[in-house]
Amino acid sequence: MTTMNISLPESMRAYIDQKVSLGGYSTASEYVRQLIREDQKAAAQERLELLLMEGIESGPSREMTAEDWEQLRRRVWQRQTESGKE
């Protein structure tokens, strides 16, 4: 783990101290890490929504064929097999 020093106005420091004491966090660092995780999750969700909208706006797709499904099954099986080796 690495250390990062930040400067905050006193009012923000007091707010963090209050969140730590009332919110069940053991340290200010734990609280800040949780905020960052939530922000990362929100950014990932936003990215997913953008990709979904791109897919929707790209127009209709063709029907999946039996061969398409078989290729998909092979790719999934291969990924499962490879991830089990680690």
- 69-86 pLDDT tens trace: 999 999 999 988 887 765
pLDDT in tens, 27-37: 999 999 999 99
Residue 85 half-sphere exposure, CB side, CA atoms within 13 Å?
A: 6
Structure tokens at 76: 């999934």
* CB-CB contact of 21 with 10 (8 Å): no
- With cut-offs at 50, 70 and 90, classify the pLDDT of residue 23: confident
| CA 2 – CA 14 distance, rounded (Å) | 24
Cβ–Cβ under 8 Å, residues 16 and 8: yes
For 55, half-sphere exposure in the C-beta direction (CA atoms, 13 angstrom radius) is 8
